[in-house]
Amino acid sequence: MADPMKIRATSKDGVTEVKVLMSHEMETGQRKDAAGAVVPAWFITDVTAQHNGKTVMQAEFGTSVAKNPYLSFKFKGGAKGDKIVVSWVDNKGDKRTDEGAIA
């Protein structure tokens, strides 16, 4: 199981800004290890963020996204204390869901 995400969400003037930091290697499949064997690709493919059950962001990642992916976006609405739920799935089928509250 991967490490938890860091989720920060702040609401200002009716717009909520969400910042997510995921913990993942995001291995490209291009790198070789010390023995010269290719390190297989291992990366997050899908990210979904929901606010009160409504999807507010859906992203698909490729191997060019940097290690420990960062994502930020803004949506209209959202009140202090509302929960933001973010989930990701990687290409090995591992997944993780975390939540944060709007501050």
Among 18, 20, 17, 38, CA closest to 29: 38
Q: What is the CB neighbour count within 10 angstroms for residue 56?
A: 20
Which residues are registered as beta bridge partners of 49?
57, 86
Distance, in Å, from the CA atom of 62 to the CA atom of 70, rounded to the nearest integer, reads 13
Cβ closer to other proteins: 67 or 80? 67
Tell the smallest beta-carbon distance from residue 1 to other proteins (Å): 15
Cβ closer to other proteins: 11 or 63? 63
Binding footprint of other proteins on the chain (CB under 8 A): 15, 26-32, 38, 40-43, 45-46, 54-67, 69-77, 89, 91-93
Tell the smallest beta-carbon distance from residue 38 to other proteins (Å): 7
